[in-house]
Structure 1
Amino acid sequence: MTTSITTGQAPPVIIATTTTTTTTTTGQPLPTTYVEVIEEPQSQRISNRWTNTQNAHAATLGLLLFAYGGMDMAQGLQWNLNTGITTTYQLEYSWFIGVIIGAVVAAFTVTHVPKKYLYLLAGILQLIDAIIFVSEPNDYTSIVAARYVGGVGIGLLTVAFIIHNSEVYLGFSRGKWCGLEQFGMTLGILIQVLMDSQWHSSSSSSITINEVHGIIGIVFAAFATSSVAMSVESPIFHLRQGDENGARTSQTHLLGTATPQDVYNTLFDEYKRYVMEGTSQSFGKQLASSVVPFIKMIFCRCLVAFSFSVPLSLTMLGSTLIWKASMLSWPMILWSILRFIGALLAICSVDLIGRKFVSLVGLLCMSALMLSLAGITAHDTYYTNTYFMSQVCRISMAFQFFAGLFVISTPTYLGEAFPMRVKPFLIGLVVCIEQLIHIIVIVTFLKDAYCFFQYFVGVGIILVVGLIIFGVLMPETRGLSLRQAGDRFRRVHDIIAY
């Protein structure tokens, strides 16, 4: 039986279906009743204000720190052109190794330590990274050490940020707030690429590009770290510790004191059901039920590593030099801006259109454009041809736009996919695999014509396979509670795209 309720003060989350089971005295459960709660647009806007006003500081924290992380990542993916520091494998992969270390540490501590302490530690590590860049901008060893330290900070932040935002933000706004992780990384890529490609180095220059890199990092890290004091822990964290009073206090801080009591109770009961289901199952049982979600996330989150990589950066650099005879030209500027525009469009629409549809559009176009690059780079003579290199340049720019569309939904899916007990470990594992892909590409790519063709064909096929898997298996979780989204992920297939 389905009952639809429309109220003037609807709960702050659109609950697609809530299951209630009653047991009779004979021990036989009665038929399940599905209650569909339909929220009016006006009350949804009010609820959005309750949550967003109280938690915008947490999003700002993540945005600024991830932006500096994006700058560090881009520097390791060939955007180290005018720094005066020799580009080596160690310089390139050092940051990614740091991220792996940080993600592993966060996976084991995030359920026991309040997130604000992990945020604080991540901010301090980013600040140390930036200070080293300013104080020793021309010393190779110091810069490599700074990149290791900064990577550890981003690894800590990534796991904590995704878990925290997936728990405190509601179904109709979770997409954009979790998506700030990739939006911040995209902003950092934009800053580093523009700064590095357009930098005019000269002997009379009083400041180096690494010093500017560090100054930006100091500003971002200092501002973000100073906002940690305002961070509000998730009610789920307190409930897992058996502290119901602390959970209620956190929820009051998150929603505000003007929240109607029925709205407050509805949301708190949903948190309690989520924790109750998570604690009632053993670790092994939850791990077994996570096999399907884990496979889905491998073909979702790990594709992010192919959206910005060493071969793609070298392709853009080489094609621009052949076409325009200089990097100080509009294609290089537009290339990084288009990724940011794509990410901006995605973060504005992911909770309106849906996570899956936006990601599918981005992934479909990425697959086609990657195979187009393979078709052109299959011919050695095209590498010095102005016309074909102009086409490669245009395709690369278009690819970055659609990559921006695709990546925004991945942190939201990562925060929704796994059961409560195993969530931090599997999120950390997926993040580590993503970094390993970057490292493998860095150390195995030989930078000759045939390797470009091999890379584009191989990645193009991976993207096509990922597109099929994404379209058939990935769920649409817009408007669902965290518990309901997890149930959808554990289904084998889910072809609904809107």
Structure 2
Amino acid sequence: MTITYITRGPEDDQQNNFNIKDFQGEYIRKAQPTMQNVNLPMSNPVSSRHFNKQLNVASAVFFLFVYGGMDLAHSAGWNQTLNTTASQQFKCSWFIGVLGGSMLSSLLMSFLPKLPFYILGGLMQLTGAIIFTCAPFDYGLLLAARYVAGAGIGLITVPFLIHSAEVAADKYRGVSGAMEQCGLALGIAIQVIYDTQWVDDKEASVNEVHGIIGIVFSLLGLGMTALSIESPIFHLRRKQEGKARECHEKLLGSFNPFVDQAFEEARLYVAESRERTFLQELVSSVLPFIKMLFYRGFVAFSFSLPLSASLISSAKLTEGQISCWPVTVWGLVRLLGALVAQGFLDKVGRKLFSLIGLLCMSILMLCMAVSYDDPANILVTFYMYQVWRLGVAFQAFAGVFVCSSSVYLGEAFPLRFKPFLVGYIVGFEQTIHILNIVGYNKGSVDFFYRYYLTVGIILMLGVIFFAVVMPETKKLTLREAGRRFQRLLNIRFF
């Protein structure tokens, strides 16, 4: 913005020539100062300092999600040197814990602030990590640790998805919400790489390493939670306008010229929910719930036990061992895809970018099904080369797709039912993971062909369905985003 400082009077002598008389009575024209335009940068509606405050909660929970990603990969087949038997119950235990924790948090978060969930969840994860470090060979204790750590991540996930959407500015909501999947992707990369590169002659077992890394990330996450700021919407729902205003000013800055406008938008968001009856809110939740149930459910197909087992078997056949570069790349590309998606969600948009990722996922999965159409192909080097190459590409596009699901979950639902519906959908995602584990353990010789063909077709149908019904919510307020989710058809991609 240009501010003009007028430091010189008009040229017209009749109007104001600034003349004075000398001692002889003659007029002397005063020295005329110059006029200059000074360009001063006006403060951005969301300065970088306050943008960082909005991301404090996302940064804190990011470290907790990293350890969650390690446990997710540990359950999905990346436990090659577990030192104990990885039974079906052991593989499912973490997902069961997440399911239980998400259900509990969805019931309580309407009455409690978010910080206790982050602290309790972080402490539970820390407890699980300590058990892995102190008892790396005790199956019973390790099983208990996985239940506890899974419940901790469940307690964190549902509040975070809602909290991140409420505290972030409209143009940064994608960056904030995507922190969940970026943290999980980093944890997956760490678990995959050290699980395959760790050799047995090391002094520490792989379970001890798992626990030590988990302790580090849990402590980092717990320390960062002290910087998080409660959502103003939480206080507005409890009619605590003073506290809501205080939180809002911490997020945006009390001298921000747009703070009143943003606070009024938050008040309208809460007021609209109060004006609707219970039945109206319930009816408004039906379409968003159906859309997000399938959308988030597809995230469970992006990283599963069958995918891991397929890559491990193909890498062993083609490279002779699991400690090889294809596995390392496979662990990293998902993180790379998630980081790219995080950077584009608020610029290009959620819908188009994610649907491209999902389309590529479906095509790659169908191509892997072709490689497995004959059960004898699992012993043919040519076909197994194709499988791990396609698998690496699949994980890259999976990282591109999954980030938008976290953002959408924070935007989709009416305020009154949001915790319950988000908790149910997160639990549904864990149920699909459990079914993948149970189905693979009971798989036949042609399991991979049937699995990849079925899931590939489901993903392809999902691309068509989501292209028609999913909205683009880039830079929209929560009220505007919710209205778009309540419409059946959303054809626009921008």
TM-score, normalisation: structure 2: 0.90
Find the partner of 1:416 among 408, 411, 420.
411
Cα distance in 2 for residues equivalent to 1:332 and 1:463: 24
Q: Amino acid of the residue matched to residue 219 of structure 2?
A: A
Structure 2 counterpart of 1:105, which letter? L
Alignment of 1:431-446 (within 5 A): 431-445=426-440, 446=442
Letter in 2 for 1:256: G
Q: Distance in 1 between matches of 2:490 and 2:329?
A: 36
**In the alignment, which residue of structure 2 is the partner of 1:497?**
493
Match of 1:210 in 2: 207
276-285 or 423-432, which deviates more: 276-285
2:462 is the counterpart of 1:460: no
User: Which residue does the alignment assign to 2:19?
Assistant: none
The match for 1:246 is 243
Q: Tell me the equivalent position of 2:124.
A: 125
Which residue matches 2:13?
Answer: none
* 2:17 paired residue number: none
Q: Does 1:225 align with 2:198?
A: no
Using the TM superposition, give the Cα deviation of residue 356 of structure 1 relative to its aligned residue in structure 2, in angstroms.
0.7
Instruction: Please tell me whether the aligned partners of residues 175 and 343 of structure 2 are also in contact (alpha carbons under 8 angstroms).
Output: yes
**2:253 maps to which of 238, 249, 256:** 256
Question: Distance in 2 between the 1:236 and 1:66 partners?
Answer: 24
Distance across 2 between alignment mates of 1:153 and 1:328 = 31
Larger Rg: 2
| TM-superposed deviation, 1:349 | 1.1
1:211-360 maps to which residues of 2 (within 5 A)?
211-260=208-257, 263-360=258-355
C-alpha spacing 1:271/1:311, structure 2 compared with 1 (3 Å): same
Structure 2 contact 60–228 (Cα < 8 Å) conserved: no
Contact 1:105 1:156 in 2 (8 A): yes
Q: Secondary structure at the match of 2:55?
A: helix
Match of 1:368 in 2: 363
Amino acid in the other structure paired with 2:274: T
Could you say what secondary structure the match of 1:83 adopts? coil
Return 5+ residue gaps in structure 2 as ranges.
3-40
Match of 2:482 in 1: 486
The aligned counterpart of 1:400 is 395
Paired residues for 1:28-177 under 5 Å: 47-177=46-176
Tell me by how many angstroms 1:45 deviates: 5.4
Aligned residues of 2:297 and 2:429 also touching (Cα < 8 A): yes
Question: Could you tell me how far apart the structure 1 residues matched to 2:324 and 2:98 are?
Answer: 33
Contact 1:50 1:254 (8 Å CA) reproduced:
no
Contact 2:109-2:159 at 8 Å conserved across structures: yes
Distance 2:207 2:47 in 1: 40
Alpha-carbon distance in structure 1 between the residues aligned to 2:216 and 2:56: 16
> Could you tell me which amino acid in structure 2 is paired with residue 488 of structure 1?
R
- Name the aligned partner's letter for residue 461 of structure 1: I
**Cα deviation, residue 334, structure 1:** 0.5
Measure how far apart 1:282 and its partner are: 2.5
Q: Which residue of 2 aligns with 1:34?
A: none
> Would the aligned equivalents of 1:78 and 1:314 in 2 still touch at CA under 8 Å?
yes
Q: How many residues align?
A: 456
1:475 paired residue among 432, 449, 471: 471
Q: Aligned with 2:407: secondary structure?
A: helix
Is the CA contact 1:99–1:153 (under 8 Å) kept in the aligned structure 2?
yes
Q: 1:383 and 1:44 mapped to 2: Cα distance? A: 61
CA contact (8 A) 1:50 1:256 kept: no
Distance 1:77 1:403 in 2: 16
**CA pair 46-285 structure 1, distance change in 2 beyond 3 A:** closer
Contact 2:285 2:414 in 1 (8 A): yes
Mapped partners of 2:394, 2:46: distance in 1: 37
Check whether the contact 2:253–2:259 (CA below 8 A) recurs between aligned residues. Answer: no
Please give the TM-score of this superposition, normalised by the length of structure 1: 0.89
In the TM superposition, residue 264 of structure 1 has moved relative to its aligned partner by 1.1
Q: In 1, are the aligned partners of 2:300 and 2:429 still within 8 Å (CA)?
A: yes
Shift of 1:378: 0.9
Cα separation, 1, equivalents of 2:143 and 2:43: 48
Name the Cα RMSD after superposition: 1.5
Give aligned-pair identity as a percent.
Answer: 45
1:189-236 CA distances to partner (integer Å, 9 max, x unpaired)? Answer: 00000011111112xx32111111111111111121122222211110
Structure 2 counterpart of 1:169, one-letter code: A
Taking the aligned partners of 2:482 and 2:206, their CA distance within structure 1 comes to 45
> Do the aligned partners of 2:61 and 2:225 also contact (CA within 8 Å) in 1?
no
Aligned amino acid, residue 198 of structure 1:
Q
Compute the displacement of 1:48 (Å): 4.9
Asked if 2 retains the 8 angstrom alpha-carbon contact of 1:57 and 1:231, the reply is yes
Q: CA deviation at 1:357?
A: 1.3
Deviation at 1:46, TM superposition (A): 5.2
Cα distance between partner residues in 1 of 2:435 and 2:279: 31
